[in-house]
Amino acid sequence: MKLKMAEKSLFAILLRSPWWISILIAAVISLAASAMLPREVAAYGISAGLPFLIVGIVAAWRQLRMPSPSRVAELIETINAMPWRDFANAVERAYQRDGYDVRRLPGPAADFEIAKAGRTVLVSAKRWKAAGAGIEPLRELQMASKKAEARESIFMTTGQLSDNAKTFAAQQNIRILQGNGLAELLQDIVQPRNT
């Protein structure tokens, strides 16, 4: 069973924050412990900053791998210009690169079933370049996920989601993949048109 960190936990927030914040917290905890604790136990106090140091290193690694804002904009522009066949092939190759078994689905609710380590996820990608999406395609994806007994669902879009759709997605464990997330997934697969 894979443990999932609570989205609003301190470490989850720090993982989404600039990496140097966690490193700074680790340094402050270590300095405070060494200054305030007796010499015999100062090492234990200093080690209290270790979890923050580790989170800072993980956050730095993730942020180094993220495409720059200009690269994200270029990739999104290229992705929006792609025909469905090319986009579907890119998505399939990206998940295969990440170690997933990918199976295309014929129905309108979900386009891919991806599986890894016994965990199945349904992916809806056909509406990737719609300007906006409401709750209905998410509801269809959620019903298909329930029927397939998938652990979670992913809805890909370069457009906007309505507030109702965002709320529904959060309630139904549907991950929205857009902007930076979509660019990160496809950055090694899709080459911007102006390069």
Query: CA-to-CA distance for 129 and 158, rounded, in angstroms?
Result: 5
Rounded-to-10 torsion of CA 164, 169, 172, 174: 160
State the CATH architecture for 69-186.
3-Layer(aba) Sandwich (3.40)
| pTM of the model as a whole | 0.69
Query: CA-to-CA distance for 75 and 68, rounded, in angstroms?
Result: 10
What confidence tier does 1 reach under pLDDT thresholds 50, 70, 90? very low
Span 153-193, pLDDT tens digits:
999 998 888 899 999 998 988 999 988 888 888 888 887 76
Q: Which residues lie closer than 8 Å to 100 by C-beta, 6 or more apart?
A: 114, 115, 116
Are the beta carbons of 109 and 144 closer than 8 angstroms? yes
pLDDT score at 126 = 86
Domain boundaries, the chain: 10-65, 69-186
125: helix, strand or coil: coil
Span 88-140, pLDDT tens digits:
999 999 999 999 999 999 888 899 999 998 899 999 988 877 788 888 999 99
Query: CA-to-CA distance for 176 and 127, rounded, in angstroms?
Result: 12
